[in-house]
Amino acid sequence: MTVAERQLESTRQPDPDVSLPVIAPHQSFAGVTDQISSAVLTTKTPIPWFVAFAFALCLVGVFVCAITWIFAKGVGVFGIEIPVAWGFAITNFVWWIGIGHAGTLISAFLLLLNQSWRSSINRFAEAMTIFAVMCAGMFPLLHLGRPWLFYWLLPYPNTMTIQPQFRSPLVWDVFAVSTYFTVSLLFWYLGMIPDLGTLRDRAKSTFARFVYGVLSWGWRGSNGHWRLHETASLLLAGLATPLVLSVHTVVSFDFTIAILPGWHSTIFPPYFVAGAIFSGFAMVLVLAIPIRAVYGLQNLLTERHLNNCAKLMLATGLIVAYTYLIEPFTAWYSGDQFEMYMVHNRAVGPHAWTYWGVIFCNVVVPQLLWFRKMRITPKPLFWISIAILYGMWLERYMIIITALHRDFVPSSWSNFIATLWDNLALYGSIGMFLFLFMLFIRFLPMISMYEVRTLLPFSGIHGASQK
Amino acid sequence: MNQPPTSDFVPLETLTGSAPRSRYWRDLDELRGIPRPEPPEDTGEFVDQNTRRRFLQLAGASLGLAGLTGCTRQPTEFIYPYVEPPESAIPGKPMFFATAAPMNGIAEGVVVESHLGRPTKVEGNPLHPASLGSTSVHSQSSVLDLYDPDRAREITHLGEAETWEDFVQTLNATLAPLRESKGRGIRLLTETVISPTLGSQVQAFLQALPEAKWHQYDPCGPHSARTATQAAFGRPLNTYYQLEQAGVVVALDSDFLACGPGSTRCARDFMARRRRGDRTDMNRLYSIESGVTSTGGKADHRLPLRYAKVETFARGLAAAIGVQGAGTSPAGFHADWISAIARDLMASRGASAIIPGDHQSPAVHALAAAMNLALDNTGKTVVYTEPLEIRPEDQVESLKKLVDDMNAGAVEVLLIFGGNPIYNAPVDLAFADGLRKVKTAIHVGLHLNETSQLCHWHLPEPHFLEDWGDARSLDGTAAIIQPLIDPLYDSHSFSQVLDVIVQFPGRSSYTIVRAYWMAQHKGADFESWWRKSVHDGLIQDSALAPVTPVLAANWAQSPLLAPTEGNTDDELVFRADPYLYDGRFANNTWLQELPRPITKLTWDNAVLVSPATAQRLHLENQHVAQLEYRGRIIEGSVWISPGHPDGSITIHLGYGRTRSGRAGNGAGFNAYLLRTSDAMWSGTGLEVRATGKKFPLASTQMQQSMEGRNLVISAPVETYKQDPDFVNHIQEPVPRNLSLYPPWNYTGYAWGMSIDLTACVGCNACVVACQAENNIPVVGKGQVLARRAMHWIRIDTYYKGSPERPELYYEPVPCMQCEDAPCELVCPVQATNHSTEGLNDMVYNRCVGTRYCSNNCPYKVRRFNFFRFQDWTTESIKMQRNPDVSVRSRGVMEKCTYCVQRIRETEIRADLENRDVRDGEIQTACQQACPTQAIVFGDIKNSGNRVAKLKALKLDYPLLAELNTRPRTTYLAELRNPNPELKETAS
């Protein structure tokens, strides 16, 4: 850093990050609206989109094949066994659910906290949530021995007068995830209605006008509409905010309720929530950075956004690191031979690579984010995020596999080896996620036009909301 | 092997599943105008005396036979509508019939459960001396052999189906000229014949055709004992052991607790003085062995020695006991062991036993006999009788003569009854080359095997559950084998074929057996005697009288007892597989998938080698080793076996079959390819090379260390006497009522189980019994490798101590039926629930397969149907299933239920009789099979019950007590009785 730069640095406001503009200067209402809506309506779809879409479509094909095979043959095609009766499917489930969390955090939590910078990323972050939860939701079904009877986990009146077993965390999961999906979907859709109205008004083809017209529910932008919309948004944000904390807490109960060393731990709920947000923001960045480049959205998705997301990652990453630290301590402090063995086995056993991989990806790599340069430069940030996404997947894998494969009675100990179908289902679900996301950025406004407009310095004179 | 593999065309597949193949044959037969037998024509017999039972048998059999009749014609006769149900046959209520399961001709009395004419489950016969209600692994699994879909189904000539009439006609035509020369050129090759009826027939045959010759050959069997008694006592004698009174037992390379005929009774008697270690006169077991066996693992002192050194040891021991003239061991050769054991033996004269293993040399057997005599054990713990065999002989010599004659062209007609010499004859005899020179070779057997492939004719043999017969147990007690079902296929017994040869055809097996015993029966009223004998499953007072043998002069110098030459080269030891035996059970999937003792291997044999030797020879686990021995080479995968003697390699016979059926073909490697007639059990001059190739072996237990956890609690009996509460000092008892909730009040029964670890010999009879009772599927080697074996009860085996001299511990683990069951809590659909009698009920119909219950089970006793493991298509297999137990499909969790079907049945019966269930009235399948009565089940609420009394013992402990799952299944800590003199040397 040169002397001049350092002087410049010192003349800045106390927190240099706040000086990063949320939105580039010299933007206009029409300009913002044009830029975002044209990506859907007029501009030629960029080549990278086709490439990504084709890639995603291939993976969807793989996914369909994998699901067909799994349903046809049974879950034996996975690498699961006795004692490791859960494998990739549950890992994937927890991972995807976790990824979804960032979207809700951005759209609901930050809305309530009046963080206006969220406006340019909340739309696609919410879309990410929806698609991630959709991917997550598939895995509990895929991993069931008899998937056609999945509805037995739902409480519904039936002639057998038998209900789910409410002490099982898997039943709680059903409620948590379905609530989460419903609220997220409503919130996302509700937030999109004004923009759908804009697309309807700007669409050239009759068909597009018709579709967007139906989807926008007769939005006219009247005062009354805006008032109701605002109220509903706030209410849903209020509903969604606790879900950010509760859903992954419930997911963590899948493990903590069990008596297995490595699962049975009270630290899991905060640990899982932090991990979820950690991986969620990584996914937000992994999506935002290429989109920003391909669609030239640097003016709306500014360094400020990258910086804030990175900071959140760093913070949640540190929470996760803390739990990594506290786990061996608790095991040692408990004096329980099974707990101690579990920690030992994690670090030096046959799956030690997962443990050290997790430490590297989730603890070592995120330390780079202490450097401001790393936080605002897209390329390194992208790869850091990828590492975190991988690390968080590995963490769930480690939790599940290392706890199960060597538990109480050594005679049952074994090793878990994933099969082709385990891998195909994982990659297939990534493909499905990408596929849905590509469709989303092609056919729906990926950034909230009306909310970004409020970020413009002169938006106040139009009396729009203060977010 | 130039002959075309004719049997390729024979439908080996399923009864109905191989429609294309069967149709091919049918069409061809019709084209050629060959009349086909209609299997139901056998029903001609069922109009006679036993109408009711025969009818039911047929009803069951028709299920299987339906497939055979489907394509061409429907039977036109003997269709009996079920208008009036047969008296006393209540659908849903099984009936039980006593019979006997022969193994090498030696009977174990069994009682077979029959559901509407289908035998489904074999239990021990409490009246029979070889069983006393328990069963061996082989009796248990025999019912699957009956329904083996790969059994031979029709008479074939050069691979083409023929009728019995054609066979008889052809045989008579072939024999006609030979009969004139008094049978010259006719040869009979059988396995060891013990059956009195068959024996009398063979004798009649030899009388009628004096120039004909009879040969016997069994690849495994008490050959050494026969030779040894011949040498030591001047005549072959049958040896058996009565261990109930034996205070000190020395096993010289013998697996008498778990393997071989008679082991069921031996184990029971031996454990009678060991079970519940609160007895003061606990017996002591020394095992000197060249492999690692169940018996060795159970021994208080186990000394691994090379095969040849066992003999040296025996000589040393004999000298120490005072046996004259048999030499001694070199000075310093395990002198501490020899002197300690000798002192121990002499201290319990008349109440000790030295038991040599079947595969040890005749010299060891003779030394053991001499020692037993010297110790005054003979007639007390060791009993000799006249031989069980109709004609005791050196079977290898007998086979050699046959091969010589075949090669000389002197054999016109060879009848091979059972057995499989092409596969299991000593390789240097080149039996196949001889067999090719025989003009007419006829093989009678259950399967189209390697031998029938080279024979001109093959006749399907009836399974013992389909046919009348008789057999003797080791003490000579004869038993009538009665069939439980009409033959499933067009099969004819040895007896019937012999009848044809002696021109006395047309008799059924029933007539033959009955006629023999009618001639034997001296008393009046044959009919009621016969009925009683058949009903009881044994003939009263038919045991052979003990004889008191006298040592022949200079017995030790007998040429039959040539000392095993000892050198330091690597030695090769052959052993019969504990489950496949000599290979005859290779197609029994239950036995293939039954984890071998100690190694826990399934579906393969292995090159077993000690850790140090493996290191020296650069062998690694599951790497292929090449064994070169006397100019012949085979390859097999290595399994490093702690406790195996160094410089020795053990390979099990019975594997590497090529024509046993779908299960046995290709499993393991064929050890017979190295076995020569001069060294049937062991030899030196072995070269072992690592090949670098890998071949996975499917073991069901990958971790055999307890990792310092209190899983098997054990102590010397002295510790127990000094501190009866030692279990609680090792494992803190968990305070009761740690729960926030008030304890559940069991108003009815409270079922529980106690497993005595002292008594468990790890024989696996419980595992097969459970499999048979509960319709547990086999999964195959691939799925075992994928850790998906389905056994509901498993025998965990742990090593303790050094890899050279480990102690071994067995622990049977069924579902613990926890009162605070972790599995129940986590099931989202209430598929596993606690019953009012304290069982963890598993509701298969409700299970959606989340497998959470298994994850949360600390004992990992739950088993999941990852695929549709059950065979839904093979008709014959369906007939084996227990109708009282659901057949689980894919995606469903299952586990031990304490045989809930038996509990309910008994409860209902007690209810109808307006009484409570009596103690011991319900026996779980594992308990019933257990030869040592290690498992006791009952109502734990009633303190007078046996199980409650056992649980009240201070030895009682729950597995993983600290988890507070409060298991209903608890263990009695294992007590051993080491010799204080040998304390330092042991382990």
* B708 at A interface, C-beta within 8 A: yes
Total domains present in chain A? 1
DSSP string, B883-898: TTS----TT-EE---S
Of A75, A411, A414, nearest to B866 by CB-CB distance is A75
- B690 and B730: one domain? no
In a domain, residue A3? The reply is no
Q: Cβ(A90)–Cβ(A78) under 8 Å?
A: no
pLDDT at A404: 92
pLDDT tens digits, residue range B645-656? 998 999 999 999
Q: Work out the average pLDDT over B800-823.
A: 91
* Inter-chain CB proximity B890 and A168 less than 8 Å: no
| pLDDT bucket at B18, cuts 50 / 70 / 90 | very low
In chain B, which residues have their Cβ closer than 8 Å to the Cβ of A341? 707
Probe site for chain B from A167, A338, A345, A411 (most B CB atoms < 10 A): A411
Per-residue DSSP letter, B679: B
Whether residues B844 and B921 fall in one domain? yes
Asked whether residue B778 falls in the same domain as residue B678, the answer is no
Contact B847 A258 (CB under 8 A): no
CA distance B735 to chain A (A): 17
Give the pLDDT band of residue B60 (cuts 50, 70, 90). Answer: low
CB count in 10 Å sphere of residue A1: 7
φ/ψ of B488, rounded to 5, equals: -70, -30
B813: which chain A residues are within 8 Å (Cβ-Cβ)? Answer: 409, 411
For chain B, give the percent of residues with pLDDT over 70: 90
Cα B95 from chain centre: 24
Write out chain A residues lying below 8 Å of B851, CB-based: 80, 85-86, 143, 145
Using DSSP, state whether B547 is helix, strand or coil: strand
**pLDDT tens, residue by residue, B543-566:** 889 998 888 888 888 888 877 766
What pLDDT does residue B252 have?
92
Residue B841 contacts A, CB cutoff 8 Å: no
| Chain B: closest CA distance from residue A94 (Å) | 15
Distance in Å, alpha carbon of A77 to nearest chain B alpha carbon: 8
Domain around B771: 714-976
Describe chain A by its helix, strand, coil percentages, rounded to 5.
75, 0, 25
Report the mean per-residue pLDDT for chain B: 85
pLDDT of residue B561: 81
Nearest to A436, CA basis, from A41, A70, A96:
A96
Residues of B in contact with A406 (CB under 8 A): 703
> Of A41-50, B73-82, B223-232, which one has max mean pLDDT?
B223-232
Are both B284 and B309 inside the same structural domain?
A: yes
Q: Is A72 an interface residue toward B (CB < 8 Å)?
A: no
Residues of chain A with pLDDT under 70: 1-20, 457-467
Cβ-defined contact of A144 to B798 (cutoff 8 Å): no
CA A326 – CA A268 distance, rounded (Å): 11
Residues B769 and B623 in one domain: no
Partners of B711 on chain A (C-beta within 8 Å) are 409-411
Q: What is the DSSP letter of B6?
A: G
Lowest-pLDDT choice from B499-513, B516-530, B947-961: B499-513
Taking the Cβ of residue A408 and every Cβ of chain B, the question of whether any pair is shorter than 8 Å is answered with yes
Checking if the pLDDT of B58 tops 50, the result is yes
- Is A69 in CB contact (< 8 Å) with chain B? no
At residue B354, does pLDDT exceed 90?
yes
Write the DSSP assignment of B923-979 as a string of letters.
--HHHHH-TT--EEEEESSSTTSHHHHHHHSTTEE-TTGGG----SEEEEPEEE---
B732 and chain A in contact, CB less than 8 A: no
Q: Would residue B367 count as lying in a domain?
A: yes
- Spatial distance between the Cα atoms of B547 and A339, rounded to a whole number of angstroms: 63
Alpha carbons B857 and B866: distance in angstroms, whole number: 18
Handedness of CA A188, A190, A191, A192 (dihedral sign): positive
Domain presence at residue B201:
no
Q: Please check whether residue A420 touches B, CB under 8 A.
A: no
| Residue after which a domain boundary falls, among B328, B359, B385 | B385
The answer for A 127-156 residues in CB contact with B (under 8 A) is 140, 143-147, 149-150, 152-153
Q: Give first-to-last CA distance, chain A, whole Å.
A: 36
Q: Residue A301 domain-assigned?
A: yes
In the structure encoding, which two tokens stand for residue A230, read together?
A: 């605002």
For the residues B431-446, what does the mean pLDDT come to? 90
Contact B959 A79 (CB under 8 A): no
Residue of A nearest to B827 (CA): A168
Q: Which of A146, A153, A407 sits opposite B892 (nearest CB)?
A: A146
What radius of gyration do chain B's Cα atoms show? Answer: 28
User: For residues B854 and B862, is the Cβ–Cβ distance under 8 A?
Assistant: yes
Query: Per the structure block, which two tokens stand in for B839?
Result: 């069982």
Are the C-beta atoms of residues A144 and B849 closer than 8 Å to each other?
yes
Nearest CB among A75, A152, A258 relative to B855 is that of: A258
Q: Where are the beta strands (DSSP E) in B686-839?
A: 686-694, 698-699, 714-716, 751-756, 794-800, 807-813, 832-834
Write down the pLDDT at residue A11: 53
Q: How far apart are CA A59 and CA A424, in angstroms?
A: 9
User: What pLDDT is stored for residue B75 in this prediction?
Assistant: 45
Flag if B866 and A76 touch (Cβ within 8 Å): yes
Is residue A246, in this structure, part of any structural domain at all?
A: yes
Asked whether residue A382 is assigned to any structural domain, the reply reads yes
Q: Which chain A residues in 312-371 lie under 8 Å from chain B, judged by CB atoms?
A: 337, 341
Q: How far is B934 from chain A (nearest CA, A)?
A: 20
Does the pLDDT of residue B4 top 90, yes or no?
Answer: no
CB B693 within 8 A of CB B953: no
Give the CA distances from residue B977 to residues B292, B321, B727, in Å, rounded to whole numbers and listed in that order.
20, 22, 16
Taking the Cβ of residue A28 and every Cβ of chain B, the question of whether any pair is shorter than 8 Å is answered with no
The nearest CA of chain B is from the CA of A148 a distance in Å of: 8
Same domain for B297 and B271:
yes
Please tell me if residue B118 touches chain A, with a CB cutoff of 8 Å: no
User: Same structural domain for residues B733 and B826?
Assistant: yes
* Beta-carbon separation of A144 and B794 below 8 A: no
Q: Residue B149 falls within a domain, yes or no?
A: no
pLDDT at A301: 84
- Whether residue B730 sits in one domain with residue B662: no
CATH of residue B786: 3.30.70.20
Domain that holds residue A255: 26-153+165-455
Distance CA A281, CA A312 (A): 7
Number of domains in chain B: 3
Q: Is the dihedral of CA A282, A287, A290, A293 positive or negative?
A: negative
Provide the greatest CA pair distance for chain B. Answer: 92
The tens digit of pLDDT for each residue in B180-207 reads 888 888 899 999 999 999 999 999 889 9
**B632 and B745, same domain (yes or no):** no
Same domain, B730 and B843: yes
Q: Which residues of A touch B762 (CB under 8 A)?
A: none
- pLDDT value at residue B39: 41
| Measured torsion, CA atoms of residues A207, A213, A215, A221, in degrees rounded to the nearest 10 | 150
Residue of chain B with shortest Cα separation from A89: B850
Domain assignment of residue B757, yes or no: yes
Which residue from B minimizes the CA distance to A160? B846
pLDDT in tens, B476-521: 999 999 988 888 888 888 888 888 888 777 788 888 888 899 888 8
What value of ipTM does the predicted structure carry? 0.90
The CATH number assigned to the domain holding B255 equals 3.40.228.10
Say whether residue B943 is in contact with chain A using an 8 A CB cutoff. no
In this predicted model, what pLDDT tens digit does every residue of B563-582 receive, in sequence order?
Answer: 776 677 889 999 999 999 98
CB contact under 8 A, A259 and B963: yes
Predicted pLDDT of residue A458: 66
Cis preceding-peptide flag for A83 (omega within 30 of 0)? yes
Residues B685 and B737 both lie in one domain:
no
Q: How far is A269 from chain B (nearest CA, A)?
A: 18
Q: Find the CATH number of the domain harbouring A40.
A: 1.20.1630.10
Q: Give one word for A332, left, alpha or beta, with left for phi > 0 and alpha for psi -120 to 50.
A: alpha
Residues B647 and B739 in one domain: no
Please give the angle made by the CA atoms of B242, B248 and B251, to the nearest 5 degrees. Answer: 75
Nearest to A85 among B702, B851, B890 (CB): B851
Q: Is residue B797 part of a domain?
A: yes
Cβ atoms B968, B817 nearer than 8 A: yes
If you average pLDDT over residues B455-479, what whole number do you get? 91
Taking only residues 287 to 316 of chain B, the set having a beta carbon closer than 8 angstroms to any beta carbon of chain A reads none
Contacts of B862 in chain A (CB under 8 A): 82
Which pLDDT score, from 0 to 100, does residue B259 have? 86
Give residue for tokens 């052991």: B241
- The confidence score (pLDDT) of residue B801 equals 87
- Which candidate in A139, A345, A408 is best for mutational testing of the B interface (most B CBs within 10 A)? A408
- What residues of chain B, 956 to 975, have a C-beta less than 8 Å from chain A? 959-960, 963
Contacts of B822 in chain A (CB under 8 A): 258-259
Say if B677 falls within a structural domain. Answer: yes
CA distance A131 to A430: 10
Question: Is residue A58 situated within a structural domain?
Answer: yes
- Residue B322 carries which DSSP code? T
- Non-local CB neighbours of A103 within 8 Å, separated by 6+ positions: A122, A125, A126, A127, A128, A129, A130, A132, A184, A280, A284
Picking from B275, B287, B267, B253, the residue whose alpha carbon sits closest to that of residue B987 is B287
Q: How confident is the model at residue B642 (pLDDT cuts 50, 70, 90)?
A: very high
pLDDT for B279: 64
Residue contact B711–A82, C-beta within 8 A: no
CA distance A284 to chain B (A): 31
What does the pLDDT read at residue A16?
59
Tell me which residues of chain B, numbers 878 to 897, contact chain A at a CB-CB cutoff of 8 Å: 890-893
Q: Show which of residues 482-541 on chain B sit within 8 Å of chain A, judged by CB atoms.
A: none
Check if B20 contacts A (Cβ < 8 Å). Answer: no
Q: What is the pLDDT of residue A103?
A: 84
pLDDT (0 to 100) of residue B728: 87
